[in-house]
Amino acid sequence: MVQYLYAAYSLDPESAPGEEREKVRIWQHQILEIAREEMGHLVTVQNLLRLVGGPLNFGRQDYPFQSDFYPFPFELEPLSIASLAKYIVAEMPERPSIPEIEDIKTLATKGNAGRAVNRVGKLYEAIIDRFAKLDDADFQASSIAYQADFDTWGRDYARAPRGTSESPKRAAAELIVRPVHSRTTALEALRAVAEQGEGNQTNESEFSHFQRFVDIFRHFKSGRVGFVRNVARNPVTMEVTLEPGDELVAVIKNEKSLLWAQLFNTRYRLLLSLLAHALHAESPITLSGAPTPRGRLIAGAFGEMYQLRALAGIIVRQPIDDCPGHLCGPPFELPYSLAVSDLPSGRWKAHRDILRGSDLLIEQLRRYGAEETKYLDALQFQNKTFLEQIAQILRTLDLPIGIA
């Protein structure tokens, strides 16, 4: 998901020639759409973890890292013919029905430092097989109270699969967010997620990720690439000690760009923190017409998704160092910990502290002039509003037992 987002942010439709501008804009929209659908997959997998009593998992191995569980080593890179080939092979079905697949596999291996790209479908096949063999006692149906559902998390998106009577033009991402309460519902959810990624279906309104990447690849291969920004590969905010074979990183050395990147990381941390907290809460999202604490968590999570896109749009225009034309990129660095407090008040205080850290970075960015002042003003106002809501919630939680 994160690698797809980075690839989409690297595209600059406005720099494309007039006849190609709309085409590049569509590619960017399609890749962002795939990333949003991957978010649905991520949330559905949290539901599956809940069902079998496992802990939620929003972490990932940061780069540089190599593992047979990943389709290829985690790497943030601008969109290219080689990266598209890697995405196609990662998402492809067992028997892809496209004539150029062997050439794409060769490109993917070359773009992966000579290592074959793993097909994600194999992992899903293994998980499906494992779920099919679990004992009935392993499934915790009562966990559904803590699971995500489409009605709560599917705002502004279409429910997958899209109805065949609709126009082939995709107006919104098709989210799969499936609560699961049994072996049958778990297997249905896993197969739906796998099909959305690797399906060979021909219904134009329900193209799989594999098919969409193939379509972009075919057009991208025959066109110019001047519309891809010269963003860094693997931008990081501090020096990293590399091991032999690790992917190279690009340290952000421009002081202003570094602050923007740190602000991005802070909001990314807030998003992950809100997602984890929301899935630890059990309540409606509104009560008597007003949002509940859980409702505020979910609204906050969606707000942070939009903030990350806005921040990414700023960061890809910033220099990474003193060399002309070398641009920065959103680093998506994970925080030192994604652990969630055992106490409700501790969870809210964690969000509060992240917001306060964000305000400190905003004040430092203001010293560099008024270029993005309106955005910083809007972000700080959002922080102030959320901090007031958190303070109100904490006053309720801190009341003595029997009063709250």
Domain ranges of the chain: 2-222, 239-397
For the chain, what is the HEC assignment?
CHHHHHHHHCECHHHCCHHHHHHHHHHHHHHHHHHHHHHHHHHHHHHHHHHCCCCCCCCCCCCCCCCCCCCCCCCCCCCCHHHHHHHHHHHCCCCCCCCCHHHHHHHHHHHCCCCCCCCHHHHHHHHHHHHHHCCHHHCCHHHHHHCCCHHHHCCCCEECCCCCCCCCCCCCCEECCCCCCCHHHHHHHHHHHHHHHHCCCCCHHHCCHHHHHHHHHHHHHHCCCCCECCECCCEECCCCCCCCCCCCCEECCCHHHHHHHHHHHHHHHHHHHHHHHHCCCCCCCEECCEECHHHHHHHHHHHHHHHHHHHHHHHCCCECCCCCCCECCCCCCCCCCCCCCCCHHHHHHHHHHHHHHHHHHHHHHHCCCCCCHHHHHHHHHHHHHHHHHHHHHHHHHCCCCCCC
Q: What is the pLDDT of residues 81-129, one digit of tens each?
A: 999 999 999 999 999 989 999 999 999 999 998 999 999 999 999 999 9
Q: Which CATH number fits domain 239-397: 3.40.50.1970, 1.10.1060.10, 3.30.720.210, 1.20.1260.10?
A: 1.20.1260.10
d(CA 387, CA 370): 25
Q: What is the pLDDT along the chain (404 residues), one digit of tens a residue?
A: 999 999 999 999 999 888 889 999 999 999 999 999 999 999 999 999 999 999 999 887 765 455 667 888 889 999 999 999 999 999 999 999 899 999 999 999 999 989 999 999 999 999 999 999 999 999 999 999 999 999 999 877 777 664 433 334 455 678 899 999 999 999 999 999 999 988 765 544 568 999 999 999 998 887 667 899 999 999 999 987 766 666 789 999 999 999 999 999 999 999 999 999 999 988 888 888 888 999 999 999 999 999 999 999 999 999 999 888 899 999 999 998 888 999 999 999 999 999 999 999 999 999 997 779 999 999 999 999 999 999 999 998 865 544 33
Side chain identity, residue 162: R
Q: According to the model, what pLDDT value does residue 401 have?
A: 46
pLDDT reported for residue 197:
86
Q: What is the structure's pLDDT at 44?
A: 96
pLDDT digits (tens, 9 = 90+) for 295-346: 999 999 999 999 999 999 999 999 999 888 899 999 999 998 888 999 999 9
Which position has the token pair 């992992």?
123
pTM over 0.75: yes
